[in-house]
Structure formats: C-alpha cells, structure tokens
Chain A
Amino acid sequence: MIEVQNLRRCFGPVVAVDDISFTAEKGDVLGFLGPNGAGKSTAMKMLACFLAPDSGTAKVCGHDIIADPVAVRRCLGYLAENAPAYNEMTVAGFLGFVCDARQMTGKDRKQALDRIVSSCSIESVYHQTIETLSKGYRRRVGLAQALVHDPQVLILDEPTDGLDPNQKHEVRQLINQMAQDKCIVISTHILEEVEQVCNRTIIIARGKTLVDSTPAQLTEEHGCSLNEVFRRITTTKKTA
C-alpha cells in the first residue's frame, strides 16, 4: 500500500532525507526509528504530500504523491508532530470541519463521529475549545482527526509523545486493534512501543536507511535489547 522509491529532500545544504526506499503492505505496522533530526518527520511529511521531494517518489494506495496528491490525502490519515489543530474551535467544531473537508455527510458522518469519539475517548471534552485541553487530549483529538474517515493508510508522527503511561497504553491498543486491515507507519523514540505494536522497523539516521527488519529479528541478531541495538546501530554508523 505504500511504495517509497528513492525519496530525497534537502533543506539548503542539509540533506534531511537521503535516498530512502521501502514498501509496506496491509497489516504492516512499520516503526520508523531514528535519533532526533534523522529525517523521520521530513519523510512522513513527504508521504502526506505536505512537502515535495527533491527527487524520487512514492505511491500510497496506488496514487502517486507528486502526480495526484489530493487522491493520496483522501485515503490517508496523517497526524503531524505536535498534533496541530485550530485552537479557538471546539472539538466538535474541529472534527466537523475535518468531515466537511473530507466530504463526509449524512449518516456516514454521524456514525464516523460516534465511532471516533468513543474509540479516542474524547466524549468528556467534546464541547470544549481545543486551547483549553491538556496535551494528552490534544493528541487524542489529533488522532481522532486522522482516523475519522477510516483511512487505509495511517501515518502517525510520534503519536504517544506527551501522553501519560495509561494514555500511551490506550493509543497502543488502538493501533493494535486497527493493525489488521490497515497499513500504519509510526515514528517514535520509545523502543518498547516498537516491540509492542510494530511488526517491522526501519532505523534511519542522517537521512539514510540503516536497517529494515523486524523487532524480533533485530534483538535476536544482536543478542541484546532493542535499546542497545538502536544505540549500536545509530552511533557506530554515524562515526564510520
């Protein structure tokens, strides 16, 4: 469902994403790992058609991100880093706007909203303005926004950042529930999360793919915890 071919993007002299390629199929939960500034967010922004690549391309659900970005965005749910939203709107108004933009009307819309409000547990803040919400609720509203149209492909940039342990657990459960019939890409710093939810991991540093494997295989090969593996891979290859 996601096919990335030689994606590359520079910001001035800095190469943020350098020739990344991978594919992901339905049922995959792909953990995108890397130190800060490795190019995770940049790669995700390109997949969500927010940032145009300098070269290379990608296909999401068969639509090319350069030739047909609107079709890509239609079948994709994207949660950006820090879960941006319109602060002065209420949660209800905000999700209503997202439904409008995704052209959801009538019964479908009502069902989708009911489903998403309960699965993200945001009933209690539904009529509050977003600026009054705590970080955890903001992120859940962002998640609700990304999930409301039941997309086939989900791209989540640090979905559990800033959540308390219970909320983290809930989000991971939500991801596990959806994993079977979707293709999910998540970026994270938390390696336990990768072990819990991902069936594949890609480790990138300085814009380059270092490893494309599964969490189980990685720990087996290196004979240590994923934390240790991550440190070994990202530090040794950097100095090399």
Chain B
Amino acid sequence: MSGFLAVLKRELKGYFATPVAYVFLVIFLFAAGLWPFIQKFFEFRQADLRLFFSNLPVLFMVFIPAVSMRLWAEERKNGSIELLLTLPITVPQAVLGKFFSAWAFLGIALILTIPMPWVVVHLGDPDMGQIVTGYIGAFLMAGGFLAIGMFFSALTKNQVISFTLSFVACAVLVFADNPTTLDYLSSALSPAVASVAENLSFQMHFESIIRGVVEFKDIAYFVIIIAAWIYACTLILEERKAN
C-alpha cells in the first residue's frame, strides 16, 4: 500500500474512532435540514432544492474549517508529524491522503442529506439533473473550502488560530460577490476590481452550477482553487515541517 493510501485509510478511520464524525454529522445535518424549512421550503411549492443548496456556502464556511483545523495543527501539537514524515511517505502523499480522506468524509455528510431530495421527489416532479449537478457543485465547493482550511492548518500548531484564519479566508471568498461589497468596490476602486472580486467568489460559481448549468469555467474554478491551495500546503510543510 502506498503512503497515500495508508494515510487516507488511517485518517478516515480516525474520524469514526473519535466523536468528531458523529458530532459533526449530527449538527451539520440538523442545520442543513432545518434552515430551508425556516425559509419556508414548503410554502414556496417548488419541487427543487435551490433553497437547500443556496444555504450551503454559509454552512460550509463554518463547518469545514472545523473539520480542516486539526488536519496538520494537531499533528504538530502532539509531535506525531515527526513520526508521519519519518515513515517512507513523502509530503505530497501525506497532504493528498489527508485531503482526500477529509473530502470523502464531507462527501458522506452530503450523501446523508438524501432525505431532502427524497422529500422533493416524493411531493413533486423535480428536475433530477439540476439536483445532481447541485450535489456535484456542493462537493466541489466543499473541496475548495477544505483545501483552504488545510493550508491554514499547516501554518500553525494552534487549532484556534487555524480555525479562525480559514474561517475568515472562506468568508471573504463567500461574500466577495455580495452586492454591498461589489457596490463598494466599484465606487471606491473601479468596476474592474469589482468584477474580479465577483469572479473570484465561491458564491457566483456555485450559484451557476446549482442553476443546473454546468460550465467548464465553474468546474475549472473549483479545481484550480483546490489544486492551488493543496500545492501551497505542501510547500509550507516542506519548508517548515519541523518548526
């Protein structure tokens, strides 16, 4: 078994060996399920999951840093990073192993929201294509948040710092296409800056995916975000794994 698979397996088991997975799943599913109903999910009388999906960026902004904060900070704190990186495992293998196990875990959390589409299918005749692309988009977006969170986790051995930094970074990317932000940017700086901010935001690309339109640029956006932050994470670890 390669180093990548060994780390992947260990991490994934780790979520379920501690209460982390259960606490996270219960609270996440509760929040993701409750929110649409507060927003009058039934009263809209629409057989789609737009409402459910459109809450996910804000939920992820809080929940994903909570998953990612421990990825490297904990290893540093209890010294096990010295064990991990003196086994015949390279830094990229370890980083990818941790990333994909956390991503798979988030995938499990998304799969467990299946009662939402089930309700919609039961009550109406929704566009299944749109629901499927919505889930694919949500999974990709989760990967983006996770890659950012893992990068900040590699910076520090303090999980509180790791959580706070990744929360702020995610919040900036989520709210970058907020109308207030864009108005301010275009009046204070220039409309070009506002357009850049809009195009960099998670929200804009995710919104266009959940509308059921899968465009290359939106997929590419998330893939590039994930790859770039993972690469940055390996650079940081190679550089200062022992500090």
Contact = CB atoms under 8 A, between A and B. Distances in A.
B212 interface: no
A89 B14 contact: yes
A93 B14 CA distance: 10
A70 B90 contact: yes
A49 interface: yes
B1 A105 contact: yes
A82 interface: yes
Contacts, number: 68
Interface string A84-98: 111111000100011
Nearest to B10: A97
A102 interface: yes
Given A50-B241, A70-B90, A73-B88, A97 B6 contact: yes
Nearest to B5: A100
B86 A50 contact: yes
A50 B242 contact: yes
Interface stretch (B28-36, B47-55, B76-84): B76-84
B6 A80 contact: no
B211 interface: no
A88 B17 contact: yes
Nearest to A94: B10
A195 B87 CA distance: 31
Contacts of B85: 50
B72 to A, nearest CB: 14
Interface residues of A, number: 28
B87 A98 contact: yes
Interface string A57-77: 000000000000011011010
B18 interface: yes
B1 A88 contact: no
Interface string B1-44: 11101110110011001100000000000000000000000000
Contacts of A236: none
A20 B191 CA distance: 60
Contacts of A48: 86
Interface string B135-178: 00000000000000000000000000000000000000000000
B89 interface: yes
A224 interface: no
Nearest to A86: B80
B13 A101 contact: no
A101 B86 contact: no
Contacts of A140: none
A149 to B, nearest CB: 9
A10 interface: no
B83 A145 contact: yes
A99 to B, nearest CB: 9
Given A50-B82, A84-B82, A102 B241 contact: no
B90 A45 contact: no
Nearest to B239: A52
Contact of A100 (B10, B80, B86, B90): B10
A74 B81 CA distance: 17
A71 B10 CA distance: 22
Contacts of B17: 88-89, 93
Contacts of B14: 86, 88-89
A103 interface: yes
A100 B79 CA distance: 20
A145 B79 CA distance: 15
Nearest to A155: B86
21 contacts: A48-B86, A49-B86, A50-B82, A50-B86, A50-B242, A70-B90, A74-B88, A80-B79, A80-B82, A80-B83, A84-B79, A86-B80, A88-B14, A88-B17, A89-B10, A89-B14, A97-B6, A100-B9, A100-B10, A101-B6, A102-B88
Given A78-B86, A101-B6, 10 more contacts: A45-B242, A48-B86, A50-B86, A70-B90, A80-B82, A86-B10, A100-B9, A100-B10, A101-B88, A102-B87
